[in-house]
Amino acid sequence: MAALAVLIGIALACLAGPGFTGHDPERAYPDLRQLPAGLAAQPDAAHLGPALERLAFRMRARLDAVARDGDTLRLTLGSEAGVDRRSLVYLPRSALFGAPEILEDRDGGRGLVVAVPLRRLYFPLGTDIQGRDLLTRCLVAGRISLAIGLATSLVALLIGVAYGATAGFLGGAADAVMMRFVDVLYALPFVFFVILLLVFFRSSLVLMLVAIAAVEWLDMARVVRAQTLSLRERDFVRAARALGVGTPGIIARHIVPNTLGPVAVTATLLVPQVILLESFLSFLGLGVQEPQTSWGVLVADGARAIEAAPHMLAAPALFLIATLVALNLFGDGLADALDPRAD
């Protein structure tokens, strides 16, 4: 049940977490690109100097002196043409500093001493190639990945259960034809069709959901059919029929509820498959598109930057793998718990 706790933890973190990390997932800090993971406050000494140089350049001013006093910086700016006070807005705009306060005006505006509060930013998992907080992005990406995993599995579950229960309950020729159709679909190189669909018609979340659900309902249909075949000869089904319940009623009220055990196991193991397929497609650039992001997208970004910034691969990959492992273990545990023969 540790697996379930991990799952709930990840899901809650993805839902609520982005509000607590202190960063907007889209907010880029151009001065803090590809920061490694760490708990130190940013900007640290190594990043502060270059960031200030860049800002001074943009303000068309010289950086004559920098003094640090706790969380406040004393900057002495100079310019032959006079420091333009309006250009001070660049300081807060960089998101690294607070509002500047002018302390001293030298040589009629050619020198300016300002006090700027230094902000303390935290990037526990580092930043990505554009300087966005990776933790926030991993959590926001998790929302999409988990939502697709759950929604697609639900669609596949509904199709599979309805199809399998109908085929199994009707039996005979209808069953043979319906399951033969499933066999034919099994033989299709479906992943190839999904790729084709997404390449040809601009990829969208809905299209991806439909495409993945169209692949993944087959297992469910087989499981439910096998269960139904044994259920339909049972006495309570005969009793229902004797009481005049119609075929749809029997399937909905008596067959489907009794298949729920194996269905729950199959569905739990379906979710990681769907998430894996989604991140695989997103990795190829065919799935989730910017500005939305998913774990697959982040892993793809990380794989591209793996030499310079290995944390960019590690962070989303750990989220993805932890989720998949937890789902697989939970599914196994569920199967063992529901299997009366388990030792």
Partner 1 sequence: MIRFILRRLAQAVPTLLAVVTVSFFLMRLAPGGPFDMERPLAPAAMENLRRVYGLDRPLIAQFGSYLAALARGDLGPSFSFRDQSVLDLIARGLPVSATLGALALVLASSLGVGLGVAAALRRGGALDRLLGIGAALTLSLPSFVVAPLLQIAFGLSLRWLPLSGWDGGAPSHLVLPVITLALPQVGALARLTRASLGEVLRTQPVRTMRSLGLPPLRVTRHALRGALLPVVAYLGPLAASLLTGSVVVETIFGLPGIGRYFVEGALNRDYTLVMGTVLLVAALVIALNLAADLACAWLDPRLRVAA
Chain residues binding partner 1 by CB under 8 A are 184, 186-189, 191-193, 195-197, 199-201, 272, 276, 279-280, 283-284, 296, 299-300, 302-303, 306-307, 310, 313, 317, 320-321, 324-325, 327-329, 332, 343
**Nearest to residue 25, comparing CAs of 339, 292, 310?**
292
Shortest Cβ distance from residue 320 to partner 1 (Å)? 7
Residues in the chain: 343
Q: What is the DSSP string of 122-171?
A: E-TT-B-TTSBBHHHHHHHHHHHHHHHHHHHHHHHHHHHHHHHHHHHHH-
Q: How far is the CB of 67 from partner 1 (least distance, A)?
A: 42
State the nearest-atom distance from the C-beta of 267 to partner 1, in Å. Answer: 16
| Rounded least distance, CB 208 to partner 1, Å | 15
Q: Which is nearer to partner 1, 251 or 327 (CB)?
A: 327
CA 201 to chain centre: 23
Q: Are 141 and 123 in contact (CB under 8 A)?
A: no
Tokens at residue 292, please?
């939305």
The answer to whether 11 and 146 are in contact (CB under 8 A) is yes
In the complex, minimum distance from the CB of residue 212 to partner 1, in angstroms, rounded to a whole number: 15
Nearer to partner 1, 172 or 200 (CB): 200
The amino acid at 300: A
For partner 1, which is the closer residue by CB, 228 or 282?
282
Nearer to partner 1, 121 or 325 (CB): 325
Closer residue to partner 1, CB minimum distance, 135 or 276? 276
Place of tokens 């793809």: 300
